[in-house]
Chains A and B, each alone.
Chain A
């Protein structure tokens, strides 16, 4: 069978850092092809190249036997390739039918006309969705159906699903799988990205596993089992060279219990989760995207609110606390260092000194009602020296710094608040190798100084290298705990996938 999509030796680099390296991949007509790998393995980048969202730095993409160079998703859609994202791309304030026909070339639509056409079209797909319903009123499963209907409406011959089942209920999952089966019967080829290994094994014809941006293995689904997939997903050597082995590493003893999270709930993202954090220890939290780890940390730090009714309890030093905004949490010494530094971490148009000073203000460390520019620069300079920030001076704008140095400024902004408990969310995401080592050193020093440290990371070697104890988060709750020096990648990954 000739492949409908063929990727030959594709590479995609972001600022010289390869996200996908020399990967070859093919998708046959009418097959369901599961693409598996850890977070950061390069699955999304590969599929985005196929869907025209990003252009490959090197390599070729062939569709239907012809070499193509696509620079926009609409170009890919014209060639019959559609991508259904985990976060749907529907317009919530429009109706189902309006969303389906939104990108049609016709300038004006008669509303009644598209409702009738939409009704017939959805029925032909056996989707029980009201075309006149507002998208904002639909459940996750129905939104997914509308996305799929939109893709089919554009005569997509290839549909790429990125984590389609992550937000679905069991009933909705069942519906989704029968839909995949029907699409397959219509000759549509499907790329299925998922962390749910059992689902991939159940519905895929072939499976490809990626790791560290590289292709590891492709074979028919029957040649795989859960263990084999997990081994292929984590069996890296490069990371060991970069991070070293955790064997023989000194594990810090736990100090006093600083934080106790008890039966915490927030919607269906954080579900009855419980864990403790201890002074002088680094607690690593590993989980796949959507496992609720970031949301849990944000509830602890007052960035998000837990459920109004029976949302559980957070105890700081044995005292029950409930933060509605981050400010009182910061005053109590709980600092959350965000994973999305550009949006939540710093003010990009402000200088290094101003950003760090804002941290001091937030922590209530500055009593004066006026700002001394000299004092502000002095404090900033101290942190620039302490964290080895590569910048001309304290007046440089943060946006002009490299990713690693930006992250150091975010960390400085947190540390100036003198935390008792600091939560790092993906501390080395988008950071160069040199800065990774420096940030790790800093995190270790914080724990040595008796601060309770929580490190959330999607990168297993980082979790293993840093953590004194490792918590694994899955489906909104902590499901396993490991000693930092005894855990291995396979065991942790096994606990993290479902």
Chain B
């Protein structure tokens, strides 16, 4: 009763849970243009996930895996007939490839050619991580596929789960569920760290699956995605920004329901991997453009961000592409040969820059 009254009161005054606010981009997340200023930019339409396989850089794009050749171009290595949901290194010589259909294939190494089905309900694999013979799999949602991520956010689902596959035995088990779009996995000595996108946080999940998740980094100004180990820390990709407009819409169920039913997906009031390409999109007013030029500080539905985290998962610095930039929708950042490599799915480009982002 008191809870209902509090909610009604908060809703009227815009307080508490009804406060339509977003955390600022400051401290380690201070706005910069590092991603746009990267000198090495290699186009790869639909690029999504990056991994290192046998020392080389591989990327998933569409239904295929591409390899970066010595002359700095992408070569298609293999097509799968089904969109590739994500890829991950399995040791140094093998690669795990998750398909939209829910299957996980292993290429190379001891388990070469093996094919795993996590569970019949798993068809939205967003990220994978490997340690000690176990492959950890994040299933973003129990109700859709990876392509339905905006709908999953707007429906305010929290049906994601984490699974563990014993590659040797071929068995799989669920470690955690009730997660709001788990989109990244990192394994450290303390257990499993998962980025929970719709709750804007990183949580540690006990490997035994008994303890409650512990928040390591919360209240992020964007939706955190894939995690990858780096020298002395981790890279976190933040695939879309939070905005006050989206936060407002997320508090209006009737509006969202009608919007999803009646408005084409491209014009939803929702975060995007790339926005600003059509004047039908929301946020096209004078606060966004001046004399036809997009303001870098304008409120935006898409941006580019990779965050370097220290071993305690605290943000130390970030690589960004602002509202007017050309490296939006960063879905994966990894470290390769001493450089940071970021895949910007929104703009279909892979950029390479110094691992410390120009920091001393």
Contacts and interface: CB of A to CB of B under 8 A. Distances in A.
Interface of A: 253-257, 260-263, 274-276, 278, 308-313, 315, 318, 320, 322, 469, 471, 478, 481
Given A254-B28, A308-B13, A260 B314 contact: no
Given A276-B27, A320-B16, 16 more contacts: A253-B316, A256-B314, A260-B24, A261-B24, A263-B20, A274-B24, A275-B26, A308-B13, A310-B13, A310-B19, A310-B20, A313-B21, A318-B218, A318-B219, A320-B17, A481-B27
Contacts of A262: 19, 21-24
Given A255-B314, A481-B30, A318 B21 contact: no
Interface in B17-60: 17, 19-24, 26-28, 30
A260 B28 contact: no
Contact of A322 (B15, B30, B316): B15
A111 B102 CA distance: 88
B16 to A, nearest CB: 6
Contacts, number: 69
Tell me whether chain A's interface is mostly helix, strand or loop, or mixed. Answer: strand
26 contacts: A254-B316, A257-B218, A257-B219, A260-B23, A262-B21, A262-B22, A274-B21, A274-B24, A274-B26, A275-B24, A275-B26, A276-B24, A276-B26, A276-B27, A278-B27, A310-B13, A310-B19, A311-B14, A311-B15, A318-B218, A320-B16, A320-B19, A322-B16, A471-B26, A478-B24, A478-B26
Contacts of A311: 14-15
Interface of B: 13-17, 19-24, 26-28, 30, 215, 218-219, 244, 310, 314-316
Nearest to A283: B27
Contact of B27 (A309, A318, A320, A469): A469
Q: Which of A255, A262, A308, A312 is the most central at the interface, judged by chain B CB atoms within 10 Å of its CB?
A: A262
B314 A315 contact: no
Contacts of A312: 19, 21
A322 B314 CA distance: 26
Contacts of A257: 27, 218-219
| 6 tightest A-B CB contacts, nearest first | A274-B24, A262-B21, A310-B14, A313-B19, A263-B21, A313-B21
Contacts of A278: 27
Contacts of A253: 310, 316
A312 B24 CA distance: 12
Contacts of B15: 311, 313, 322
Contacts of A313: 15, 19, 21
B244 A263 contact: yes
B14 A274 contact: no
A261 B23 CA distance: 7
A431 B17 CA distance: 44
A260 B23 CA distance: 7
Contact of A276 (B14, B23, B244, B310): B23
Contacts of B13: 308-310
A274 B19 CA distance: 14
A260 B21 CA distance: 11
B209 to A, nearest CB: 24
Contacts of A275: 24, 26
A263 B244 CA distance: 9
B76 to A, nearest CB: 43
B26 A315 contact: no
Contacts of A255: 314
